[in-house]
Amino acid sequence: MIKILRALEVKVERKKSGIAIAGSCKKVKAPYSLVSTMRASVCVLGPLVAKRRIAQVSFPGGCIIGPRPIDLHLKGLERLGVEIKIKSGYIVAKARKLKGSNIYLGGHFGSSVLATANTMMAATLADGITTIENAACEPEIVDLANFLISMGAKIEGHSTPTLRIKGVKKLHGTTYSVIPDRIETGTYMIAGAIAGGDLFLENANGRHLLAVIDKLRESSIPIQIYKDGIRVKKSARKKTKSTAVTTLPYPGFPTDMQAQIMSLLCLADGISVITEKIYPERFIHVSELSRMGAHILLEGPNAIIKGVNSLSGADVMASDLRASAALVLAGLVAKGKTRVHRIYHLDRGYENLDKKLSGVGARIWREKE
């Protein structure tokens, strides 16, 4: 994302305590070479067309987890008065003026986090009032709204399915601390659950993970929530119980935790069922877990998991960001050595995962391919 902003000639400086961004974008084209590597790159589209009235953004890439159309992004912007054309793999967006509108952002599988973000960011600089119905309610959307409010935006209803945005003429600079990453937190919770031990996750927000915590407790994993973090304490000898998991938009069980809990349930006592209702094809990691001795049967959007006593180390291939994490989690308890290949996916979502895990007792390291 920093590279994309620099390609737009925005001044970005990375510091230990955060990122400093100064000045306006001088260019309006986000190139394929960068946008193709990360799905979230499409989030420059809304702010760019709102600020400069023109944007050229390549179709986004990222993890291979089934069809991920951007029709809701384009629908939201078009309702604000943006003219959209597709040319040579680029989204070309133009607008003489952005105008507030009533927008319904419902998709085939529910609301869209990134489409809500793109539309909300653009609407902050539109004339008049914009109402977004079926807006995403994820904590990241609430955090983005609070960030924009700290810059002078006028937004109401964040954390509800109805967002109301009164456009302002301009935004100003701010200093802001983002929320802790709930998916990173959830991944480390499952690390403690699958390997056993006593982990305290500092600064983690348990309120953002109630669906995950509920399923872990259902699987006999002791979880304690504190003001300053989350504690996972489990004996390696205590067997995990099987359960049923269905992924849903927030506050339901997140699709981005599906692969990780599957690794845990591969070792559970009994039969578990995971139903994927966000990305029904998000099961590429199943074949890799099967290499390690897991017993998993796919039936459409359902994965039926028969728990085994142990997994065995193997060479496995990461297909996407969360699958990478799931394979690392399985490797923590597999007998023998597990090599996870193509870990460049992993580094997009986890900073120093190997160092953090080795710091609490895991035998994990990096090797050059």
> What are phi and psi for residue 194, nearest 5 degrees?
-80, -35
DSSP for 180-221, please give it: P-HHHHHHHHHHHHHH-EEEEEET--GGGGHHHHHHHHHTT-
Long-range contact set of residues 101-104: C-beta below 8 Å, sequence gap at least 24: 101/126, 101/130, 101/131, 102/130, 102/131, 102/133, 103/75, 103/76, 103/79, 103/130, 103/131, 103/132, 103/133, 104/133, 104/134
| 266: annotated active-site residue | no
Q: What is the DSSP letter of 338?
A: -
| Beta sheet of 162-166, edge-to-edge order | 102-104, 129-133, 162-166, 154-156
DSSP for 119-183, please give it: HHHHHTTSBSEEEEET----HHHHHHHHHHHHTT-EEE-TTSSEEEEE--S--------PPP-HH
List the catalytic residue out of 43, 63, 137, 266. Answer: 63
User: Which whole-number Å values give the CA distances from 56 to 111, 281, 355, in the listed order?
Assistant: 25, 30, 38
Spatial contact of 266 and 289, defined as CB atoms under 8 Å apart: yes
By annotation, the residues acting in catalysis are 63
